Amino acid sequence: MEKNAVLVLADGTVVEGTGFGAECEASGEVVFNTSMTGYQEALTDPSYKYQILLMTYPLVGNYGISDKAFESYKIQSEGFIIRELNYNARDSAQKNNLDGFLSEYGIPGIAGLDTRFLTRKIRLHGVLNGILKYPFEAGELSDLRERACKLKNISELDLVDMVSVDQIIKHDAVGDKTVVLIDCGVKRSIINLLVGRGVNVIQVPAKTGVEEIMDMQPDGILVSNGPGDPKRPSYLIESISNLLDEGLPMFGICLGLQLIALALGAETYKLKFGHRGSNHPVKDLNTGRAHITSQNHGFAVDEKSMPDSLQVSHISLNDNSVEGIVHQELPVSAVQYHPEGHPGPWYNYYLFDEFVESLK
């Protein structure tokens, strides 16, 4: 097929391939995900804002697009990189394939690349900014290289503010307990799992003030997942710090863990190439049990910087980084991975049961 699309990395690497999806340009941090399925859930995960997503599994698009697999209202990734595209598969209800899905939301894709080469480059040298352009002309390459080098670092952007809701949304359940969910870029599965356990969820914008949150009389607080450098939205760190003084049960997921740790005085750092996929092994230090988890983060908490009030509850069995924390005195805990899965294993749902139980 015609090589009419190109990926240009900030280090000067140029890889040509076949374009699909929308005919346009995308820019951002190029990252890889090791999941074998779940491309729709990954594409619609707000944590991929300002990132061009690369799937390491070579066959993508082979089961179409489903109404049930949206994790937000649109595609959040800036662009999509795959080895081989299936143009024929369509979900029976959605009646759309991956090519049409990207076109619908104005997102460009590139196929026919050696994704193993790109994955190895990222693993060896770390994540790189890049530009994906479809279609392109050979005479544009010099300009694309120059612009790729000048792209903003992900830490310069407040991505949380870009993906958080702009108004309060209530998700009513049959129970009598209410959780305020601070939306940093939440996945719908998290809300669904709480509502399914009889918990009323009040989803609030990331910049909602502490006084307004407490006026809602919550039984607990959940700090959601989201994109970017956790140090960038300083307003969230301040809000969480003040909410901790209220003594309510608090649970953090992914970015939520990092924000809670920062609010308690710990430090975070950027991982070389991040953890993204649905097959990451994590050890529960309390039980000694290993769990296979779904993950999507490019930053982590520095264990050595953690105050005495925090204890590490889970670690990554790949690199020993912090995967869970628990407060020694307050009803506060958080995990770096995604217990809601989607894509990924579902047996980590027990963490939602424990959080709901803490509300009582």
Q: How far apart are CA 311 and CA 326, in angstroms?
A: 5
Q: Is the N-terminal amide bond of 135 cis, ω within 30° of 0?
A: yes
254 given a catalytic annotation: yes
Asked if residues 278 and 38 have their Cβ atoms less than 8 Å apart, the reply is yes
How would DSSP label each residue in 77-136? SSEEE-SEE-SS---TTT---HHHHHHHTT-EEEES--HHHHHHHHHHH--EEEEEESS-
340 given a catalytic annotation: yes
Q: How far apart are CA 282 and CA 268, in angstroms?
A: 19
Question: Starting at the edge strand that comes first in sequence, how are the strands of the sheet with 177-183 ordered?
Answer: 169-171, 199-205, 177-183, 220-223, 250-253, 332-335, 322-327, 310-316, 268-284, 290-301
Token pair of 237 as six digits: 């760190």
- Closest by Cα among 217, 322, 202 to 262: 322
DSSP category for residue 189? H
Asked if residues 1 and 84 have their Cβ atoms less than 8 Å apart, the reply is no
280 given a catalytic annotation: no
The one catalytic residue among 78, 254, 275, 342: 254
Task: Please identify every residue annotated as catalytic.
Answer: 254, 338, 340
